[in-house]
Chains A and B, each alone.
Chain A
Amino acid sequence: MTSSPMLRVSDLRLSYSTAKGDLPAVDGVSFSIQAGEALGLVGESGAGKSSLALALMRVLPRNVAHHSGVVELEGVDCTGMDDETFRRQIRWSKMAMVFQGAMESLNPVVRVGEQVIEPMLVQGHVAKKEAAREARRLLEVVRLPAEAYDRYPHELSGGMKQRVLIAMALILKPRLLILDEPTSALDVTVQAQIMDQLKDLKKEMDLTILFITHDIALASDVCDTIGVMYAGKIAELGPAERVLRSPSHPYTRLLLASVPRLHQEEQPGFIPGSPPDMVSLPLGCRFHPRCPFVFQRCIAEEPSLLAAGQNHQARCWLVEQRP
Chain B
Amino acid sequence: MSLLLAAEDVVVEFQARKGLLGSVRVRALDGASIQLEKGETLAIVGESGSGKTTLARVCLRLQEPTRGKVSFDGQDITHWTARRLQQFRRRAQGIFQDPFSSLDTNMTVGQIVEEPLVIHGLRDGRQDKVYKALEDVKLTPPDEMAAKFPHMLSGGQRQRVAIARALVLQPELVVADEPVSMVDASSRAEILYLLRELQERHGTAFLYITHDIATAYHFSQRIAVMYLGRIVETGGTREVIGNPLHPYTQALLKAVPEPDPDNRLRRRAVVDGEPPSPAHPPSGCHFHPRCPYAFERCPVADPQLQEVRPGHRVACHLWPGADAAARLPEKPQTGQAL
Interface string of B259-292 (1 = CB under 8 A from A): 1110110011111101100000000000000000
Contact between B258 and A259, CB atoms less than 8 A apart: yes
Question: A272 CA to B185 CA in the complex, in Å?
Answer: 12
Contact between A187 and B275, CB atoms less than 8 A apart: yes
CB distance from B82 to the nearest CB of A (A): 34
Question: A250 CA to B243 CA in the complex, in Å?
Answer: 35
Q: Is A240 positioned at the interface, with any CB of B under 8 Å from its CB?
A: yes
Q: Is A297 positioned at the interface, with any CB of B under 8 Å from its CB?
A: no
A-B pairs under 8 A by CB, number: 135
CB distance from B290 to the nearest CB of A (A): 8
Residue of B nearest to A239 (CB): B261
CB distance from A30 to the nearest CB of B (A): 23
Question: A212 CA to B189 CA in the complex, in Å?
Answer: 22
A160 partner residues in chain B, CB cutoff 8 A: 274
Choose, from B21-29, B57-65, B126-134, B247-255, the stretch at the interface: B247-255
Contact between A245 and B261, CB atoms less than 8 A apart: yes
Interface residues of B in 142-187 (CB under 8 A from A): 154-157, 184-187
Contact of A258 among B186, B211, B241, B260 (CB under 8 A): B186
A241 partner residues in chain B, CB cutoff 8 A: 261
Question: A255 CA to B188 CA in the complex, in Å?
Answer: 11
Residue of B nearest to A156 (CB): B274
B308 partner residues in chain A, CB cutoff 8 A: none
Known: A214-B184, A270-B193. A256 touches B255 (CB 8 A): no
Interface of B is mostly: helix
Interface residues of A in 83-112 (CB under 8 A from B): none
Question: A196 CA to B269 CA in the complex, in Å?
Answer: 7
Contact between B259 and A260, CB atoms less than 8 A apart: no
Residue of A nearest to B248 (CB): A189
Contact of A262 among B186, B188, B253, B268 (CB under 8 A): B253
Contact between A220 and B264, CB atoms less than 8 A apart: yes
Q: Is A221 positioned at the interface, with any CB of B under 8 Å from its CB?
A: yes
Q: Is A269 positioned at the interface, with any CB of B under 8 Å from its CB?
A: yes
B269 partner residues in chain A, CB cutoff 8 A: 196
Known: A255-B186, A260-B189. A196 touches B268 (CB 8 A): yes
Residue with the highest number of chain A CB atoms closer than 10 Å, among B188, B218, B264, B271:
B264
Q: Is B122 positioned at the interface, with any CB of A under 8 Å from its CB?
A: no
Q: Is A217 positioned at the interface, with any CB of B under 8 Å from its CB?
A: yes
B154 partner residues in chain A, CB cutoff 8 A: 274
Contact between B338 and A199, CB atoms less than 8 A apart: yes
Known: A189-B47, A214-B185. A267 touches B218 (CB 8 A): yes
Question: A215 CA to B258 CA in the complex, in Å?
Answer: 10
Contact between B47 and A188, CB atoms less than 8 A apart: yes
Contact between B186 and A270, CB atoms less than 8 A apart: yes
Known: A187-B275, A196-B267, A267-B218. A274 touches B260 (CB 8 A): no
Residue of B nearest to A198 (CB): B264
Q: Is A134 positioned at the interface, with any CB of B under 8 Å from its CB?
A: no
Q: Is B214 positioned at the interface, with any CB of A under 8 Å from its CB?
A: yes
Contact between A260 and B218, CB atoms less than 8 A apart: yes
Known: A187-B274, A222-B264, A274-B156. A263 touches B242 (CB 8 A): yes
Contact between A224 and B264, CB atoms less than 8 A apart: yes
13 sampled A-B residue pairs with Cβ under 8 A = A188-B213, A188-B252, A189-B271, A192-B254, A192-B270, A200-B338, A203-B338, A218-B257, A221-B257, A222-B264, A241-B261, A255-B185, A260-B217
Q: Which A residues have a C-beta under 8 Å from some C-beta of B?
A: 38, 44-45, 157-160, 187-193, 195-196, 199-200, 203, 214-224, 239-241, 244-245, 254-256, 258-263, 267-272, 274
